[in-house]
Amino acid sequence: MVATNQQRICIGPEVPQDSKNPVTMLLPHPSSGFPSRYVIQEGQLYEMQLVDSEGLRSWFIRDTVQSDGSLYIITPIDPLFMCIPILDIVRQRTSESEGLFLGLQDIFESDQYTSLRNLVELDKLDQHLALVCDVRESDSGGGGGSGKRKTFRLDNHRTLTWLKRKVQVLADKFSSIPVLVDSIDYTESLHEICQTEAITQSALRLVSAYLSESWAKQLAAEYQFPELEKLESRIQLPTLLDFGKRSATDMDEDSKPKEIKKPKMSAGQRKLAKASTTGMKPLSSFFAKKSA
């Protein structure tokens, strides 16, 4: 029996009984600017990702089969990642001018992304924006507005500072997250300094996945990884044997260090190699005696 297409398997935030059903919407992905799916729930912003089944996997749910085997994952995302590219564009900064101060309604207005205005509902939005923007408060002029009106203009320096903090926060938590630890090819012989650089570099790359190309470049410029570079170049030096094998054709070329490809281990092999056996029982206990 095949389940209908209206059903999906998701991992996501708990929805309190009395609240509305979560609503999904298309918003510009901070990295590419193309539409991706997001959720706003109880004033929080969530991104939706999936583990793609590529048409090759299905779910068994009790006695039914759901043909779409993807797993959807709805996770919180710092709203500033969403806002930074938007703020960057709407301020209309040029070489002559720092750009415009704009209110929330103007910032989150787009005919291409009609859902953008939902972002105004986010909890404490103006406090978030203040971390990366210059803020002006003005008495709201005509139009019947009551009290003060805040306007925001993205500031590059504050944004970079914020981004570096983000990288640091992730780097600090790094060693407590197993999948992150496994993603770096540590060997025990790696110097502690290299490890620190490797962690920071990895955190930087992950944060940059949520940045546009230009912001990713600006952020990368704030970092140096001298120890890692040294390590890379040591691994790539040609050996004496390589010199012997050079063909006649490249005699005159600059001696480029050969790239030594590390044999890629499959995910399964990597997992096995890193697997901790603490707490695992020996095979012989597998055949335990049945209590009579």
The site for other proteins (CB under 8 A) is made up of: 8, 24, 26, 28-29, 31-37, 47-52, 54, 56, 72-73, 85-86, 89, 110, 112-113, 179-180, 183, 202, 205-206, 208-209, 212-213, 216, 264, 266-268, 272, 283-284, 286-287, 289-290, 292
Cβ closer to other proteins: 105 or 255?
A: 105
CA distance 46 to 12: 9
Minimum distance of other proteins from residue 209's CB (angstroms): 5
CA distance 208 to 120: 25
Minimum distance of other proteins from residue 214's CB (angstroms): 9
Cβ closer to other proteins: 71 or 231?
A: 71
> Which residues, 6+ apart, have CB-to-CB distance to 133 below 8 Å?
87, 152, 153, 154, 155, 158
Cβ closer to other proteins: 32 or 105?
A: 32
Cβ closer to other proteins: 252 or 259?
A: 259
Q: Which of 207, 251, 265, 271 is nearest to 31 (CA)?
A: 207
Minimum distance of other proteins from residue 50's CB (angstroms): 5
Minimum distance of other proteins from residue 181's CB (angstroms): 11
> What does the chain come to in residues?
292
Cβ closer to other proteins: 85 or 133?
A: 85
Question: Residue 3: exposed, middle, or buried by beta-carbon count in 10 A (0-12, 13-18, 19+)?
Answer: middle
Minimum distance of other proteins from residue 182's CB (angstroms): 9
Minimum distance of other proteins from residue 113's CB (angstroms): 7
Minimum distance of other proteins from residue 60's CB (angstroms): 11
Cβ closer to other proteins: 52 or 137?
A: 52
Cβ closer to other proteins: 37 or 150?
A: 37
